[in-house]
Structure 1
Amino acid sequence: MRSRPFGRTGRNLGEIGFGAWAIGAAWGKVDDRASVAALHAALEAGLDFIDTADVYGDGHSERLIARVLNERGGARPFVATKAGRRLPAQTVEGYSAENLEGWIDRSLRNLDTDCLDLVQLHCPPTEAYYRPEVFERMERLAGCGKLRHYGVSVERVEEALKAIEYPGVASVQIIYNMFRLRPAELLFREARRRGVALIVRVPLASGLLSGKFGADTRFEADDHRRFNRHGEAFDVGETFAGVPYEVGLAAVEKLRPLVPEGATMAQLALRWILMDEAVSVVIPGARNRQQALGNLAAAELPALPAATMEAVARIYDQDIRPYVHQRW
């Protein structure tokens, strides 16, 4: 798998990573044996970037990752985690020095390490990006040796553009996929100009872009694709990228003929993201060995032809843009 520079950190990392939300919670029943197998298979295949958060299964995802890394021994991959969503209500005041250090100490224990590779503020309130003291606190924690780098995970392009004005912000994580094109308009250019790494999450629009769902697909009660369908629990943009389910299904059928021979729709969706050189790493989730290896295989696809890129843009403009473009 090809590596890309991870911003100005001095690290080069594989362009496809492992998104570890689904092995923690909120995607239906979690099967730890399958999760462990998925992580082992991906690492065996050369994966070197894992993204998690302290709230994924209340730390279960972090602890599972530590278990696998300890079983394997040797050099560890780059592990990014997040902090902030443990607050009962999202307020800027909640991102106090005491809370930040407490969350980071907990992740250090969960991941069984002395220093975290990357800690991302986990979709804090928009106001937080306009409060320099929040970023100064992260800078101090980095200076204490608890983390090597810090960044942000954002909901909105506006938040990302503000965050990268802070010189210590090493990375931005944002939703970008064939149903969410806006980040590439300005943010990607600005992040690349400033040497900020870009982590792309929700690359398959919560599975919609796998092409495996239909109108009759049913999701478990503890799956966010059911309980957050309309933003009941957190930002609706995290579920199906904010696209109404039926609208997304119809657009997927228009995208289906674009899938290269021998590839899957999910692999097309991942390869499409990697066509933009501003992307540092894309983090699809995987709940079993087959999914993990299928994700990594997307990097082996040849560059997509201009006709495919134009067709995706056309479908977005016609079917998706009115629902998402100005919202995030």
Structure 2
Amino acid sequence: MSEKFIKNYLSNWQLYVFLIPALVYIVIFAYVPMAGVQLAFKDWDFRAGIWGSEWIGFENFERFFDSYQFGSILWNTISLSLYSLVISFTLPIIFALLLNAFIGTRYRKLIQTVSYMPHFISTVVIVGMLLQIFNPRTGAIGNLFLALTDKVIPDVFANPDAFQHLYVWSGIWQSLGWSSIIYIAALAGVDQELHEAAQIDGATRFKRVLHIDFPSLLPTATILLILAVGNVMDIGFEKTYLMQNNLNISQSEVISTYVYKVGLTIGAGDFPFATAIGLFNSIINFILLILVNYSAKKINNNSLW
């Protein structure tokens, strides 16, 4: 421990005391549970416990890789994750740029407030709203389609091909405004003298957005992209599970819902198998995080470390 750190600690010990609750929380809920990862390599015996169960190596992983569902589950997870990542990452940036270019301050604040509101609606309520709106007979869309065509609209939730679109775009409606906050804050810090100089040189509003506003967002966007890619395999379990049914399960079954079913549902309870799948998912996320962080550092020298 360096002398510089000791002096810093002695002069600011009160701040380090405030860190203790956060550190205790992280240790208890993030690091202590890591001991349970060994369950992925064992044949679980309730009487022997985690430490006393028989070590079986990579058998649980091999079971998952050899499963007939492995290909479809992995593809559903990756395709839905990338679809969601592309849309949910680009649209908040575009929304922030458009909002920043909006002239009327009063209307800009109104748009911001309205766009933030869906973020505070719970996932259960969002899915309930979707079920009501797209109900073929009693929903708003169903009634409108019936009035225009005198036919009953097909059930969207029964169509596997519609699941990903419904999942992603309902998520955009819910999170667009909230996700754009950090970009709006970054744009607020742009030196206005740059815009004034560009105006004197004859730059249009679009050119100023393209050459001043957008480059100012790149460092923030890069960090957020790295963090998003690090969680690319973690599809939101709650929303996916609530939107899932027997008719769309071919497209809606992802790793998170599969882990729940094989590990926690009644009659399954295969804890080692579920742990192995979850560990596989985390390893993929970790590898992607390292690769994207390394690439970002090489390309524009912006990275997490």
TM-score by length of 1: 0.20
Higher share in strand? 1
TM-score by length of 2: 0.21
